[in-house]
Amino acid sequence: MNTPVRVKICGITNRDDALAAIDAGADALGFNLFPGSRRHVLLSALTPWLPSLKILRVALMVNPSLDDILEAAPFFDVIQLHGHESAALSSQAAAVAPIWKAFPLDGALDETTIAPYHAQAILIDTSLPGAFGGTGVLIDLDKAARFVQSFPTRQVWLSGGLNPGNVAAAIGKVRPHGVDVSTGVEIPGNPRRKAHDRIRDFIAAARSA
């Protein structure tokens, strides 16, 4: 029996959107702690309600210090490193919490790049200069499929430009462990709020793939 693809709703900034995603059947929620993101949320704003969420909670961090990771780790189940972090930092962080490592899917991404990282899962995202996810630009699905086929023992999450209309086809082509969406389920023009109907539609489409 095929294992259903897992779904992570990323860029959550408020409790209402978090609860809507949980009610819709999401497997994980992502919270962006990177100050340079339009979806940035302060850890202090999350701590009053984050611990009550009965779901996998993922902290997205870009080039954090070890102190930043140590501060966030008690409130999250996973730390997702989404920048140019060193393998040494990932090793230090893995002693504190499970680590997911995000990589832009470009021609340089291979086993020699991935192997040094102490990562429970790999997230592949659209490769755009200077961007750390959340672009809404669709990832190269053919390249993503080849990547997944090349790493059959890895938990690979697919991200980059997914939405309710294309996620089922993307899953069918790539066959990832999970899919990650942020822009594709937002209220148009408002990157800090999710459209709850789009969350439901995205998860239903992913489950149908």
* CA–CA dist 159, 175 (Å, integer): 12
Helix, strand, or coil (residue 181): strand
| Active-site pick, 17, 27, 125, 180 | 125
- Closest listed residue to residue 159, CA positions, set 47, 35, 4, 10: 10
68 is catalytic: no
140 is catalytic: no
| Active-site pick, 10, 17, 27, 180 | 10
Q: How many residues does the chain have?
A: 209
- Unique residue bearing structure tokens 């779901």: 55
* CA–CA dist 168, 115 (Å, integer): 29
* CA–CA dist 100, 122 (Å, integer): 6
- Bridge-based pairing of strands 186-187 and 190-194 is antiparallel
Q: Which residues are catalytic?
A: 10, 125
